Amino acid sequence: MKGKIPTLGMTLFSLLLTAGVTTARGQSAMSERMAATAMKTLWRDAGRNETGMPSKWTYDHGVVLKGIEGVWHATGDRKYFDYIKQSMDHYVNADGTIRTYNLDDYNLDNINNGRILLLLYKVTRQEKYMKAAALLRKQLETQPRTSDGGFWHKKIYPSQMWLDGLYMAEPFYAEYAAAFHEESAFDDIAKQFILMELHSRDPRTGLLYHGWDESKKQRWANQTTGRSPNSWGRAMGWYAMALVDALDQFPRHHPQRAALMAILKRLATAVEKYQDKASGLWYQVLDKGGANSNYLEASASCMFVYALAKAARQGYLPASYLAVARKGYQEITTRFIETAAGGGVNLNGTVSVAGLGGNPYRDGSYEYYLSEKVVTNDPKGVGALLLASVEMETAARKRSAKSH
C-alpha cells in the first residue's frame, strides 16, 4: 500500500452524508421502493436472522449494498448510508479483521464487498475499513492462477475461470489500485478481462460461455476448448457490469484501455443481438430463446440494462445503447415487479443460482440451467434492479431537464 485514499471529492460525500432528504416528486422512484424492501426484509428469513444480515460474509450482500449506495447518491438520504455502514459493521472488527472471512479459501466471491469497505473508508476515514480492504487486496496477491495468469474462480475449482469472478474481483481491484496508486495493477486487471474473453468467447454468437477449464478435466469442459457448453445470462451480466465498473477507474491513457473498450463493444453487440425483440428482455440461456422451457430472466436483464445504460452515459458505448436499455427496463418494471406491503416492491423472475461442477455435480447443460429454481427477491436480482433503476432514473432526469 503506497498511501491513503486522497480526500479529493470528499466534499460530495460529506454533503450526501448530511443531506438527509429525498427530492419530492410524488411516488417514490423504483430504486427507493426496491431499497425499502431490501432494507426491511431481504435476509430476515422467518425469524431465523433477526439482525437482517446474511449469516456470513457473502458477495450478494455486497451487490445489494452497491445498489443502495446508488440510491444514497441519488437521494442524499442518510438512512441509506447508515444501512450500508450497519451492514458492514456486522462483519468488520475494530482491528480490520472480517468475521466469517477466510483468506485461505481463495474464493473470488469474497472480494466483492471490498468496494463497500472502500466507500466507508472514504466517507468515515475509520482505519478498520481500510485494513479490511487491504486484507482482501492481500488475497489477490496470492490468488491461484492459470498458466497465463488468470485468477482461479475458487481454490476448490482449480484451473477454472468463470465469468462471475470478473465482477467479484476486478471492480474492487481497480478501485483499490486507483485509490492507492498501484499503477501496475491495471496491467493485471486488464489481463483478467482479456483472458476471460479469449478463452470463453464464441466467435459465432459473440456470447461468452459461463466458464473455462484450462485442465479440461471437468465433465462440463469441452475437451478441445475447455469451455462450458452454454451462455448463461447472469454470468454474462456479471462480466458486463464488471467491465463498465472497472473502466470507471482505469487510467485514460493506459495502453490496455482500448482493448477493454473493444471487448465492451463486442459484448454489447452480442447482448443487443440476443435481446428478445418482443419484450426487450434476455433469456436464461441467451442464445436459445425459442427452445423448450427457456424463459426470460430478471437478474440478467437488469444487469444488461445497467451495463448498457451506464456505458452509454459514460461514453464507453454509443448513445444508441440507452434505447436498448430503456426497452428492457420498461418490461422489467411491468413483468417482474409487484407492489409489496409498506410501499416497497418485490422482484420476481430471478434464477436462484447456477454454477459448474461441485457436489451435486452441475454439468453446464441446457437442462441444468433450466432446472434451478426461480424465486422472488433473490439478492442478486434485487441488487441488479437497484443498479439498473438508479441508472435509468438518472437518464430520465437528464432527458426531462433537456426538454424544459
Residue 112 · residue 127 · CB < 8 Å: no
By C-alpha distance, which of 130, 136, 87, 93 is closest to 111? 136
137 strand-pairing partners: none
The three three-digit cell numbers of residue 290, written as one number = 425459442
Q: What are phi and psi of 310, to 5 degrees?
A: -65, -40
Question: Can 378 be counted among the known catalytic residues?
Answer: no
SS3 call for 328 = helix
Cis peptide before 144 (omega within 30 of 0): no
First-to-last C-alpha distance (Å) of the chain: 48
DSSP designation for 8: T
Q: Which segments of 159-252 are extended strands (E)?
A: 160-162, 211-213
Residue 210 · residue 235 · CB < 8 Å: yes
Catalytic residue from among 60, 164, 213, 378: 164
Residue 289 · residue 279 · CB < 8 Å: no
Please give the positions annotated as active site: 164
